[in-house]
Amino acid sequence: MTITQLQYIIAVATYRNFTLAAEKCFVTQPTLSMQIQKLEEELGVELFDRTKKPIGLTKAGEKIIVQAEKIVTEVSRIKDIIDIEKGFVGGVFTLGIIPTVTPTLLPLFLPHFITQYPNVQLHIQEHHTESLIDLLKEGVLDAAIAATPLEEEGLAEKPMYYEPFVGYVAPEHPLCAHTTWHPSMLDTEDLLLLEDGHCFRNGILNLCRNKNQAVPPSFSIEIGSFDTLVQLVDNSMGITLLPYLTGKRLTPSQQSRLRHFNAPQPAREISLIHRKNALKEQIIDALHQSIRSAVSSAVPFNDVQIISPLKNKK
Protein backbone atom coordinates (compact mmCIF):
# COMPACT_ATOMS: atom_id res chain seq x y z
CA MET A 1 0.00 0.00 0.00
CA THR A 2 1.41 3.39 -1.02
CA ILE A 3 0.39 7.03 -0.54
CA THR A 4 0.06 7.32 -4.30
CA GLN A 5 -2.43 4.46 -4.42
CA LEU A 6 -4.47 6.11 -1.67
CA GLN A 7 -4.45 9.39 -3.62
CA TYR A 8 -5.71 7.52 -6.69
CA ILE A 9 -8.66 5.88 -4.91
CA ILE A 10 -9.59 9.24 -3.32
CA ALA A 11 -9.61 10.82 -6.79
CA VAL A 12 -11.89 8.11 -8.18
CA ALA A 13 -14.18 8.39 -5.16
CA THR A 14 -14.35 12.16 -5.71
CA TYR A 15 -14.92 12.25 -9.47
CA ARG A 16 -16.68 8.87 -9.87
CA ASN A 17 -14.85 8.35 -13.14
CA PHE A 18 -11.48 6.66 -13.77
CA THR A 19 -10.58 8.78 -16.78
CA LEU A 20 -11.33 12.09 -15.05
CA ALA A 21 -9.56 10.93 -11.87
CA ALA A 22 -6.47 10.08 -13.92
CA GLU A 23 -6.51 13.54 -15.50
CA LYS A 24 -6.71 15.19 -12.08
CA CYS A 25 -3.80 13.04 -10.85
CA PHE A 26 -1.76 13.79 -14.01
CA VAL A 27 -1.33 10.12 -14.94
CA THR A 28 -2.71 7.91 -17.67
CA GLN A 29 -5.94 6.07 -17.04
CA PRO A 30 -4.29 2.60 -17.41
CA THR A 31 -1.65 3.54 -14.82
CA LEU A 32 -4.27 4.69 -12.32
CA SER A 33 -6.46 1.62 -12.90
CA MET A 34 -3.51 -0.75 -12.53
CA GLN A 35 -2.44 0.79 -9.20
CA ILE A 36 -5.98 0.66 -7.83
CA GLN A 37 -6.32 -2.98 -8.89
CA LYS A 38 -3.02 -3.80 -7.12
CA LEU A 39 -4.34 -2.15 -3.95
CA GLU A 40 -7.61 -4.07 -4.16
CA GLU A 41 -5.69 -7.32 -4.61
CA GLU A 42 -3.49 -6.50 -1.60
CA LEU A 43 -6.51 -5.67 0.57
CA GLY A 44 -8.55 -8.59 -0.74
CA VAL A 45 -11.66 -6.47 -1.39
CA GLU A 46 -13.11 -4.42 -4.22
CA LEU A 47 -13.28 -0.71 -3.44
CA PHE A 48 -15.45 0.35 -6.37
CA ASP A 49 -18.63 -0.94 -7.95
CA ARG A 50 -17.67 -0.63 -11.60
CA THR A 51 -21.11 -1.73 -12.82
CA LYS A 52 -22.64 1.57 -11.77
CA LYS A 53 -22.67 4.76 -13.81
CA PRO A 54 -21.18 6.87 -12.35
CA ILE A 55 -18.84 4.52 -10.51
CA GLY A 56 -19.93 3.79 -6.95
CA LEU A 57 -18.16 2.73 -3.77
CA THR A 58 -18.63 -0.67 -2.19
CA LYS A 59 -19.41 -0.83 1.52
CA ALA A 60 -15.78 -1.67 2.23
CA GLY A 61 -14.69 1.08 -0.12
CA GLU A 62 -16.71 3.71 1.74
CA LYS A 63 -14.95 2.87 5.00
CA ILE A 64 -11.49 2.65 3.44
CA ILE A 65 -11.84 6.00 1.63
CA VAL A 66 -12.49 7.74 4.97
CA GLN A 67 -9.26 6.33 6.38
CA ALA A 68 -7.35 7.03 3.17
CA GLU A 69 -8.33 10.70 3.30
CA LYS A 70 -7.12 10.94 6.89
CA ILE A 71 -3.78 9.32 6.01
CA VAL A 72 -3.16 11.51 2.95
CA THR A 73 -4.10 14.64 4.90
CA GLU A 74 -1.72 13.84 7.75
CA VAL A 75 1.12 13.05 5.35
CA SER A 76 0.55 16.40 3.64
CA ARG A 77 0.52 18.10 7.03
CA ILE A 78 4.05 16.87 7.67
CA LYS A 79 5.25 18.74 4.59
CA ASP A 80 3.37 21.83 5.74
CA ILE A 81 5.10 21.70 9.11
CA ILE A 82 8.49 21.50 7.41
CA ASP A 83 7.63 24.42 5.10
CA ILE A 84 6.50 26.53 8.06
CA GLU A 85 9.68 25.74 9.99
CA LYS A 86 11.76 26.77 6.98
CA GLY A 87 9.66 29.89 6.39
CA PHE A 88 8.85 28.64 2.89
CA VAL A 89 5.64 29.86 1.25
CA GLY A 90 5.01 27.88 -1.90
CA GLY A 91 3.25 25.04 -3.65
CA VAL A 92 0.01 24.55 -5.55
CA PHE A 93 -2.93 26.39 -4.01
CA THR A 94 -6.49 26.38 -5.37
CA LEU A 95 -8.53 29.44 -4.44
CA GLY A 96 -12.24 29.90 -5.06
CA ILE A 97 -13.89 33.31 -5.28
CA ILE A 98 -17.45 34.59 -5.75
CA PRO A 99 -18.26 36.39 -9.05
CA THR A 100 -19.24 39.69 -7.40
CA VAL A 101 -15.75 40.01 -5.88
CA THR A 102 -13.55 38.71 -8.72
CA PRO A 103 -13.33 41.78 -11.01
CA THR A 104 -12.62 44.27 -8.21
CA LEU A 105 -10.44 42.31 -5.77
CA LEU A 106 -8.10 40.40 -8.07
CA PRO A 107 -6.57 43.51 -9.71
CA LEU A 108 -5.97 44.99 -6.25
CA PHE A 109 -3.93 42.20 -4.68
CA LEU A 110 -2.94 39.62 -7.30
CA PRO A 111 -0.02 41.42 -9.05
CA HIS A 112 1.69 42.15 -5.73
CA PHE A 113 0.97 38.67 -4.34
CA ILE A 114 2.50 36.73 -7.25
CA THR A 115 5.54 39.00 -7.14
CA GLN A 116 6.00 38.62 -3.39
CA TYR A 117 5.33 34.85 -3.39
CA PRO A 118 6.70 33.51 -6.69
CA ASN A 119 6.77 29.92 -5.38
CA VAL A 120 3.00 29.79 -4.95
CA GLN A 121 1.21 28.25 -7.94
CA LEU A 122 -2.16 29.93 -7.48
CA HIS A 123 -5.12 28.39 -9.30
CA ILE A 124 -8.24 30.57 -9.13
CA GLN A 125 -11.78 29.33 -9.76
CA GLU A 126 -14.99 31.37 -9.79
CA HIS A 127 -18.09 29.86 -8.16
CA HIS A 128 -21.24 30.93 -6.34
CA THR A 129 -21.13 30.63 -2.56
CA GLU A 130 -23.01 27.32 -2.28
CA SER A 131 -20.58 25.67 -4.69
CA LEU A 132 -17.59 27.14 -2.85
CA ILE A 133 -18.80 25.60 0.40
CA ASP A 134 -19.20 22.17 -1.19
CA LEU A 135 -15.81 22.32 -2.91
CA LEU A 136 -14.09 23.38 0.32
CA LYS A 137 -15.62 20.51 2.25
CA GLU A 138 -14.68 18.06 -0.52
CA GLY A 139 -11.08 19.29 -0.44
CA VAL A 140 -11.15 20.47 -4.06
CA LEU A 141 -10.43 24.04 -2.92
CA ASP A 142 -7.76 25.01 -0.39
CA ALA A 143 -9.55 28.26 0.48
CA ALA A 144 -12.23 30.60 -0.83
CA ILE A 145 -13.13 34.28 -0.81
CA ALA A 146 -16.81 35.02 -0.12
CA ALA A 147 -19.23 37.18 1.80
CA THR A 148 -19.69 36.06 5.40
CA PRO A 149 -20.84 35.00 7.96
CA LEU A 150 -21.86 31.66 6.49
CA GLU A 151 -22.29 29.69 9.72
CA GLU A 152 -20.93 26.49 8.17
CA GLU A 153 -19.75 23.75 10.51
CA GLY A 154 -16.16 22.72 9.86
CA LEU A 155 -15.20 25.94 8.08
CA ALA A 156 -13.18 28.83 9.50
CA GLU A 157 -13.72 32.43 8.37
CA LYS A 158 -11.01 35.09 8.47
CA PRO A 159 -12.56 38.53 7.74
CA MET A 160 -10.46 40.76 5.47
CA TYR A 161 -12.54 43.86 4.78
CA TYR A 162 -16.01 45.39 4.91
CA GLU A 163 -17.44 46.69 1.63
CA PRO A 164 -20.42 49.07 1.85
CA PHE A 165 -23.42 48.91 -0.45
CA VAL A 166 -23.87 52.02 -2.59
CA GLY A 167 -26.93 53.11 -4.54
CA TYR A 168 -26.88 53.78 -8.26
CA VAL A 169 -29.67 55.95 -9.66
CA ALA A 170 -30.59 57.71 -12.90
CA PRO A 171 -30.70 61.56 -12.81
CA GLU A 172 -34.47 61.70 -13.34
CA HIS A 173 -35.27 59.28 -10.52
CA PRO A 174 -36.74 60.87 -7.33
CA LEU A 175 -34.02 59.33 -5.13
CA CYS A 176 -31.35 61.14 -7.14
CA ALA A 177 -32.27 64.34 -5.27
CA HIS A 178 -31.08 62.81 -1.99
CA THR A 179 -27.33 63.04 -1.40
CA THR A 180 -27.42 60.18 1.12
CA TRP A 181 -29.83 57.30 1.49
CA HIS A 182 -31.38 55.27 4.27
CA PRO A 183 -32.47 51.65 3.65
CA SER A 184 -36.07 52.60 4.49
CA MET A 185 -36.10 54.75 1.34
CA LEU A 186 -35.70 51.74 -0.94
CA ASP A 187 -38.71 50.54 -2.89
CA THR A 188 -38.13 46.88 -3.70
CA GLU A 189 -40.51 47.05 -6.65
CA ASP A 190 -38.16 49.64 -8.18
CA LEU A 191 -34.97 47.75 -7.36
CA LEU A 192 -32.98 45.87 -10.01
CA LEU A 193 -31.24 42.79 -8.62
CA LEU A 194 -28.73 40.18 -9.62
CA GLU A 195 -30.22 36.80 -10.48
CA ASP A 196 -30.81 34.17 -7.82
CA GLY A 197 -27.63 32.41 -6.64
CA HIS A 198 -25.62 35.57 -5.93
CA CYS A 199 -25.05 36.26 -2.24
CA PHE A 200 -25.05 40.02 -2.96
CA ARG A 201 -28.68 39.67 -4.03
CA ASN A 202 -29.42 37.87 -0.75
CA GLY A 203 -27.78 40.70 1.18
CA ILE A 204 -29.97 43.31 -0.48
CA LEU A 205 -33.14 41.32 0.22
CA ASN A 206 -32.06 40.87 3.84
CA LEU A 207 -31.40 44.61 4.08
CA CYS A 208 -34.95 45.28 2.92
CA ARG A 209 -36.42 42.66 5.26
CA ASN A 210 -34.52 44.17 8.18
CA LYS A 211 -36.50 47.36 7.53
CA ASN A 212 -39.81 45.46 7.59
CA GLN A 213 -40.50 46.04 3.92
CA ALA A 214 -42.59 43.69 1.88
CA VAL A 215 -40.42 41.87 -0.66
CA PRO A 216 -42.26 40.64 -3.74
CA PRO A 217 -41.79 36.95 -4.56
CA SER A 218 -40.12 37.68 -7.90
CA PHE A 219 -38.76 40.53 -9.98
CA SER A 220 -39.35 41.28 -13.62
CA ILE A 221 -35.63 41.73 -14.29
CA GLU A 222 -32.88 39.62 -12.76
CA ILE A 223 -29.39 39.93 -14.26
CA GLY A 224 -26.09 38.11 -13.86
CA SER A 225 -23.71 41.09 -13.96
CA PHE A 226 -23.38 44.52 -12.39
CA ASP A 227 -22.45 46.04 -15.76
CA THR A 228 -25.88 45.15 -17.15
CA LEU A 229 -27.64 46.51 -14.06
CA VAL A 230 -25.78 49.81 -14.48
CA GLN A 231 -26.81 50.01 -18.14
CA LEU A 232 -30.44 49.39 -17.23
CA VAL A 233 -30.38 52.17 -14.63
CA ASP A 234 -28.76 54.46 -17.19
CA ASN A 235 -31.80 53.76 -19.34
CA SER A 236 -34.18 54.79 -16.53
CA MET A 237 -35.38 51.29 -15.67
CA GLY A 238 -35.08 51.65 -11.90
CA ILE A 239 -32.34 51.78 -9.28
CA THR A 240 -29.80 49.25 -8.10
CA LEU A 241 -27.27 48.67 -5.35
CA LEU A 242 -23.61 47.96 -6.03
CA PRO A 243 -20.59 46.98 -3.94
CA TYR A 244 -18.41 50.01 -3.18
CA LEU A 245 -15.44 48.79 -5.23
CA THR A 246 -17.69 48.14 -8.23
CA GLY A 247 -18.85 51.75 -8.03
CA LYS A 248 -15.25 52.95 -8.14
CA ARG A 249 -14.83 51.28 -11.55
CA LEU A 250 -17.55 53.41 -13.15
CA THR A 251 -16.87 56.41 -15.36
CA PRO A 252 -16.76 59.88 -13.70
CA SER A 253 -20.21 60.76 -15.06
CA GLN A 254 -21.63 57.49 -13.74
CA GLN A 255 -19.98 57.95 -10.36
CA SER A 256 -21.98 61.16 -9.96
CA ARG A 257 -25.06 58.93 -9.80
CA LEU A 258 -23.76 56.91 -6.85
CA ARG A 259 -25.35 57.48 -3.44
CA HIS A 260 -23.91 56.42 -0.08
CA PHE A 261 -26.03 55.31 2.86
CA ASN A 262 -26.10 57.07 6.21
CA ALA A 263 -23.87 55.54 8.88
CA PRO A 264 -23.75 52.81 9.87
CA GLN A 265 -23.57 51.91 6.20
CA PRO A 266 -24.96 48.52 5.19
CA ALA A 267 -22.01 46.43 4.05
CA ARG A 268 -20.86 42.96 3.24
CA GLU A 269 -18.06 41.23 5.12
CA ILE A 270 -15.53 39.61 2.79
CA SER A 271 -13.54 36.78 4.33
CA LEU A 272 -11.01 34.14 3.47
CA ILE A 273 -12.65 30.79 4.21
CA HIS A 274 -10.94 27.45 4.73
CA ARG A 275 -11.45 24.14 6.46
CA LYS A 276 -10.63 24.07 10.14
CA ASN A 277 -7.19 22.50 10.66
CA ALA A 278 -6.53 23.22 7.00
CA LEU A 279 -3.31 22.39 5.22
CA LYS A 280 -1.09 25.05 3.63
CA GLU A 281 -1.58 27.44 6.54
CA GLN A 282 1.42 29.53 5.46
CA ILE A 283 -0.22 30.29 2.10
CA ILE A 284 -3.57 31.03 3.73
CA ASP A 285 -1.89 33.52 6.09
CA ALA A 286 0.04 35.11 3.21
CA LEU A 287 -3.16 35.55 1.18
CA HIS A 288 -5.03 37.00 4.14
CA GLN A 289 -2.33 39.55 4.92
CA SER A 290 -1.80 40.47 1.28
CA ILE A 291 -5.50 41.08 0.61
CA ARG A 292 -6.04 43.05 3.81
CA SER A 293 -3.09 45.28 2.97
CA ALA A 294 -4.20 45.83 -0.63
CA VAL A 295 -7.81 46.70 0.24
CA SER A 296 -7.22 48.78 3.39
CA SER A 297 -6.70 52.03 1.48
CA ALA A 298 -9.27 51.24 -1.23
CA VAL A 299 -12.17 50.66 1.18
CA PRO A 300 -11.64 53.13 4.06
CA PHE A 301 -14.84 52.41 5.99
CA ASN A 302 -15.28 51.27 9.59
CA ASP A 303 -18.75 52.44 10.68
CA VAL A 304 -20.73 49.72 8.94
CA GLN A 305 -23.60 47.31 9.56
CA ILE A 306 -22.85 43.79 8.31
CA ILE A 307 -25.74 42.42 6.24
CA SER A 308 -26.06 38.65 6.14
CA PRO A 309 -25.40 37.00 2.77
CA LEU A 310 -27.50 33.97 3.68
CA LYS A 311 -30.70 33.35 1.76
CA ASN A 312 -33.95 34.10 3.58
CA LYS A 313 -32.06 35.37 6.62
CA LYS A 314 -34.35 37.14 9.05
Q: What angle do CA 116, 138, 100 make, to 5 degrees?
A: 55
pLDDT per residue as tens digits for the range 192-233: 888 776 788 888 888 876 444 444 444 455 667 888 888 988
Return phi, psi of residue 161, to 5°. Answer: -165, 165
The CATH code that applies to domain 162-267 is: 3.40.190.10
Q: What is the DSSP letter of 76?
A: H
| pLDDT, tens only, 131-159 | 999 999 888 899 999 999 998 999 999 99
The pTM for the full model equals 0.76
Burial of 41 (0-12, 13-18, 19+ CB in 10 A): exposed
If you classify domain 3-84 with CATH, what class do you get?
mainly alpha
pLDDT tens sequence across 102-142 = 999 999 999 999 999 999 999 999 999 999 999 998 888 99
Q: Matching CATH topology for 89-160+270-305 and 162-267?
A: yes
Give me the residue spans of the domains in the chain: 3-84, 89-160+270-305, 162-267
Q: How many separate helices (H) and strands (E) can be counted in the chain?
A: 11, 13
**The predicted structure's pLDDT at residue 281:** 86
User: Average of pLDDT values for 221-250?
Assistant: 85
DSSP 225-280: -HHHHHHHHHTTS-EEEEEHHHHTTS-HHHHTTEEEEPSSEEEEEEEEEEETT-S-
Give Cα separations from 248 to 56, 164, 226, 237 (angstroms). 49, 12, 12, 22
Considering the domain delimited by 89-160+270-305, tell me its CATH architecture: 3-Layer(aba) Sandwich (3.40)
C-alpha to C-alpha distance for 307 and 203, rounded to whole angstroms: 6
